[in-house]
Amino acid sequence: SAVISQKPSRDICQRGTSLTIQCQVDSQVTMMFWYRQQPGQSLTLIATANQGSEATYESGFVIDKFPISRPNLTFSTLTVSNMSPEDSSIYLCSVERDGFTEAFFGQGTRLTVV
């Protein structure tokens, strides 16, 4: 398995501000993934983050709104920019061990925008 630490676990933010979420993995992985889970909904993939290259965003998600950094093989950040109440969600990071397709998730960041 993989141990994933996500910070913060929750936050309440004012609209128009930005929040950066950190994801730390206990071992090196090639790809890290960021998901959003809106209230009452299932998970939607935001983007895939590879070390040393720009993140690849899914349809409906853009870099200006969700900039991602991947400075090394064990760490990534997701920023939720210029927040509105519609951004209130749980944000999760996920990894796969290289060579395996079993996915492991962090404990999530519960974001409320007021």
# binding residues, another protein (CB under 8 A)? 26
Please identify, among the stretches 14-22, 35-43, 60-68, 71-79, the one whose residues bind another protein according to the rule CB under 8 A: 35-43
DSSP state of 64: T
Q: Give the residue with the Cβ less far from another protein, 33 or 83.
A: 33
The reply to whether 73 sits near another protein by the rule CB under 8 A is no
Q: Closest approach of Cβ 27 to another protein, in Å?
A: 16
Query: Considering only residues 7, 31, 51, 57, which one is a binding residue for another protein as defined by CB under 8 A?
Result: 31
Q: Closest approach of Cβ 42 to another protein, in Å?
A: 4
How far lies 31's CA from each of 19, 34, 81, 111, in Å? 22, 10, 23, 24
Given a contact cutoff of 8 angstroms between Cβ atoms, the answer to whether 55 and 48 are in contact is yes
Neighbouring CB atoms inside 10 A of 105's CB total 16
Peptide bond into 8 cis (omega under 30): yes
Given a contact cutoff of 8 angstroms between Cβ atoms, the answer to whether 33 and 93 are in contact is yes
The reply to whether 89 sits near another protein by the rule CB under 8 A is no
- Report the interface residues with another protein, using CB under 8 A: 1, 4, 6, 10, 31, 33, 41-45, 48, 56, 90, 92, 94, 96, 101-108, 110
